[in-house]
A and B are shown apart, each in its own frame.
Chain A
C-alpha cells in the first residue's frame, strides 16, 4: 500500500476509532484495585516512624502486586496514604479523609495518642483497622475493627522488668521515660510488674516533650544508685541523645529499653554509647522466622538500608500481608467479613513471629529481648505476657 497523506489519515483514523472502541473494554477488563488506606505520621517530630511504616507498606504491596494472582483474582493493592502529621486533630482529619476514599481497611498509626483520638470516629465504622500503638488500653476502647500487630506495653513492660530483675539480678530498679502516652503508659506497666515482684522503683523520672537535655533526670537516677535502668521512650532521636548523655555522665549500669533502643537510626546515632544496652523489640534480624529473613533481604534490596526492628516497618509489612491472605481466603474484601476472619487468625507466620488474635484484637503475645553488640542486635531471649 502506498503511503500518502490520504492513506495515512485513513489508517490513523481507523486505528484511533478502533482504540476508542476497544479502550473501554480494555479498561473494563482490568481488575479493580483493592484500596488500602494507610495513615502514618510523615511530617513532624515522629516522621521517622512514619517513614518506616510507609516503607513497610510499600514493600508489601509491591511484592503482592508482583504475584501472578496479585491479592486474589488478579486484583492488585492500591495504597491511599494520608499524613497523620504530629497532632491529634490533623490525624483525625486525615482519617476522615481516608474513610471517604472507599478504602477497605486502614493500616497505622503507631502512636497511641493518635489511635485514641481516632477511636471515637472508628467506633462508628466497621472496617479493619490494623494498628501498631502499644498502650494497653488501645484495644479496650470498644472499636469493632481494631487489631494490634505489636506486643502491648503490658508484655513489653513485664518482659523488660522480669529480664532486669531475674536475668540481670537487679535489686534497685530505676525508670526513665518520656512524658507522652507511650512513655507514661509503659512506665506504669513497669511499676505494676515490679509491684508483682514485691519491689518499687528507686527512681521514676520523666522528661518533658521535645526536651534535648536530659542531664537533670540522669543525675537524679544516678543519685538513687540503681542496679538496672529501664527506659520507656518512643522517639528514636530522644533515645540516641539520652544514651550519649548516660555515657558521658558515667551512669554505668545495665540499660534495658523499649523498642526505640533497637531502632536502627537510634543505634547508629548513639554509636558506641549504645553498645551493651538491651531492648525489647518486635523482632531481631537473623534470629526470627524465615518470613523475617525474607523481609530483611527484600527491604535491603529496595531501600538500601536495614529495616527498623523496634517500631517501624515489620508490623506494617505483616499487616498488609495478613489482609492480602484474608482477602484471598475469603475471596472478597467485605470489611465486616474481614473483621470476622481476622478475629479467627491463629498461628499466622509473619515478620514479628506467630500471630494469633485474642478477644481484644491483640495479635502478638511476645517480644524479643536483644542486646546491642558492636552496633548489631543479638537475640538474648523471647518473652511473653
Chain B
C-alpha cells in the first residue's frame, strides 16, 4: 500500500515535470515566460530560507543580501575576468555559502528576535557595501552587460531558453532540500527547531547543524542571484534590500515554511499575484496586501497546510460518498 502510494507520488511528480518541460512550447509570450523564470529563481531563494527557518527554526531577514552577493559575484567574474557563466554560478554559490558561514557562526548565540535583528543588520550592511564599493560593484549605477550562459554556440539568451536552466536548477535544489529533509541532517535540524536543549541532550551537535543551515541558505540564494544576474543582464544594489528579504519571508510563510513544495508554491504565488492584479491599476497593492494578510490568518500552515487539510478531508469522505 505504502509502495503504491510512493509510486503514485513519483508518477505525479514526473508528470508535473513533463508538463513544466513542455511549457515553452505552448507559452510564447516573453512576458509570461519572464514571470515563470523569475518565479523559479525566487523559489530557489525561498527554498534556501526554508532550510534555515522551516527546517532549523532560525529566522533570517538577510536572504536578499545573499541573493545580491551571488548576483555580484557572478556579474563581476563574467564582466571583469571574462569567466563563462557556468563556473561563475558555482563561484557565486560558494562565496554566498562562505558568507553564510561567516554570518552564521557569530549568530549562533542568538535566536528569535535577536537573530532576526542581527540578520537585518547584515542585510543593510551588504547593501551599503554594494552601493559604496564602487571599484568592484560600480556603485548605484549597477553592473551591466552580464552575459547569458551558453553551451558551445547555443546561447540561453531568450526567456524560453533560460526557462530550462531555471527549471533544472529548481528541480536540483528541490531534490537536495528533500534529501536533506529525509536524512539525518534534516531530522537533526527538525529536532533543533522543536527544542534545541533537548536536541543537544540527545547528542545532536546543534552548533554544527545550525551552521550547515546558514551555509545552505546562503548557497541557494547565491545560485539564485547568479541566475537572476545572467537572465536580467543588469544588476543594481536597490534590488537587494531589506524589503526584498521580507518579501522572501512572506513567500515562505504563505507557502508553508517547513515544506519544500510550500516554498516553491509561495514564491510562485506571490510573484504572480501582483501581475494577476495589474488590471486593478494602483489599487492592486491594497488587494495584494489584504490577500497576503488573509492567507496568513486563514492558512496558518501555509498553502501546503491548506492542501493537506483538503486532501485529508477528501480521502476521509470518499468511502462515504461511494
Contact = CB atoms under 8 A, between A and B. Distances in A.
Given A43-B284, A117-B232, A119-B144, A93 B34 contact: yes
Interface stretch (A7-15, A96-104, A168-176, A347-355): A96-104
A141 interface: yes
Contact of A180 (B35, B140, B244, B282): B140
Contacts of A184: 131, 139-141
A219 to B, nearest CB: 20
Contact of A93 (B38, B131, B281): B38
22 contacts: A42-B281, A43-B282, A87-B238, A87-B244, A88-B239, A89-B232, A93-B31, A93-B34, A93-B38, A93-B275, A96-B31, A97-B31, A97-B275, A100-B30, A117-B142, A120-B232, A135-B141, A179-B132, A184-B131, A184-B141, A185-B140, A185-B141
Nearest to A181: B140
Contacts of A96: 30-31, 34, 159
A245 interface: no
A82 B124 CA distance: 30
A89 B282 CA distance: 18
B289 to A, nearest CB: 11
A372 interface: no
Interface string B30-70: 11001100100000000000000000000000000000000
Contact of B236 (A82, A83, A99, A113): A113
B285 interface: yes
Given A116-B144, A181-B140, 17 more contacts: A85-B274, A88-B238, A88-B239, A89-B239, A92-B232, A93-B38, A96-B31, A99-B30, A100-B30, A113-B142, A116-B236, A135-B141, A137-B141, A180-B140, A180-B238, A183-B140, A184-B139
B85 to A, nearest CB: 14
B239 A87 contact: yes
B138 to A, nearest CB: 10
A120 B143 CA distance: 12
A27 B89 CA distance: 55
A208 interface: yes
Contacts of B238: 87-88, 113, 180-181, 209
A40 B172 CA distance: 38
B233 interface: yes
A215 interface: no
Interface in B102-130: 124, 128
Question: Chain B's interface: helix, strand, loop or mixed, by majority?
Answer: helix
B140 A179 contact: yes
A66 B128 CA distance: 50
B234 interface: yes
Nearest to A123: B233
Contacts of A183: 140
Contact of B274 (A90, A135, A182): A90
Nearest to B145: A120
B233 A120 contact: yes
B278 interface: yes
Interface of B: 29-31, 34-35, 38, 124, 128, 131-132, 139-142, 144, 159, 228, 232-234, 236, 238-239, 241, 244, 274-275, 278, 281-282, 284-285
A208 B30 contact: no
Given A93-B31, A96-B30, A99-B31, A83 B278 contact: yes
B281 A209 contact: no
B278 A88 contact: no
Nearest to A111: B238
Given A43-B284, A113-B140, A209 B30 contact: no
A179 B34 CA distance: 29
Contacts of B281: 42, 81, 83
A322 B281 CA distance: 27
Indicate the member of A87, A99, A135 with the most B CB atoms within 10 Å: A87
Indicate the member of A43, A81, A141 with the most B CB atoms within 10 Å: A43
B228 to A, nearest CB: 8
A81 B285 CA distance: 16
B140 A119 contact: no
Interface in A320-373: none
Nearest to B233: A120
A135 B282 CA distance: 27
List the 4 closest pairs (A to B, CB-CB), nearest first. Answer: A120-B233, A96-B31, A184-B140, A181-B140
Nearest to B141: A181
Interface in A46-92: 47, 81-83, 85, 87-90, 92
A153 to B, nearest CB: 11
A208 B237 CA distance: 12
A224 to B, nearest CB: 20
Nearest to B244: A87
Contacts of B142: 113, 116-117, 181
B303 to A, nearest CB: 22
Contacts of B30: 96, 99-100
